[in-house]
Amino acid sequence: MTEAVLRRFRIGILVVAIGISVLAVVLILGAWRNDRTIEADMGTATAEVLSAGSLRSAISFVTPDGANRNPPLGVLYPTNLTVGQRIEVEYAKSDPDLVRVAGRNASVAMVPAGSVIVVTWLLAGPMIWYLRKRESATRISKPDTSN
């Protein structure tokens, strides 16, 4: 491969790794922002888990005004929930569709997001190093045609 192609691959890998890292940080910041919104105007309720998954769990709960709520995006931090389980939830009174499992917060998102960042750089780092080494070797082995 030519030096230019190696350089493009190296830059592409770097851009992808930075992009994944930025998205993971944005995920943590978004979770933190949601927590602040809930804590600023918190209501609590007992909810029933309608469906359970590792990424999204649907719940249903009743607010003090008697309104039945079923947040379209589910509940935040849904790990280890089971269908039919009754759980305590905390929600933003100003936006009752913004709900989290009581006692959980953005710190729950830090381990998975941090792991994504670490794995990304564990994969990208050696590839970038290898491509840089190959790029240098290509540059050295290329004859000087500037004369």
Q: What is the structure's pLDDT at 53? A: 84
Q: What is the structure's pLDDT at 136? A: 83
Q: Who has greater pLDDT, 146 or 52?
A: 52
Q: What is the structure's pLDDT at 88? A: 97
- By the 8 A CB rule, do 81 and 57 touch? yes
pTM for the model stands at 0.78
- By the 8 A CB rule, do 14 and 147 touch? no
Q: What is the structure's pLDDT at 144? A: 57
Q: What is the structure's pLDDT at 143? A: 62
Render pLDDT for 74-108 as a digit per residue (tens, 0 to 9). Answer: 999 988 899 999 999 999 999 999 999 999 999 98
How far apart CA 90 and CA 100 sit, in angstroms, is 5
| pLDDT value at 120 more than 90 | yes
Q: Cα dihedral sign for 46, 82, 71, 91?
A: positive
Q: What is the structure's pLDDT at 3? A: 84
| pLDDT value at 138 more than 90 | no
Render pLDDT for 24-81 as a digit per residue (tens, 0 to 9). Answer: 999 999 999 999 999 999 999 999 999 998 778 999 999 999 999 999 999 999 888 9
The strand pairing partners of 127, in sequence order, are none
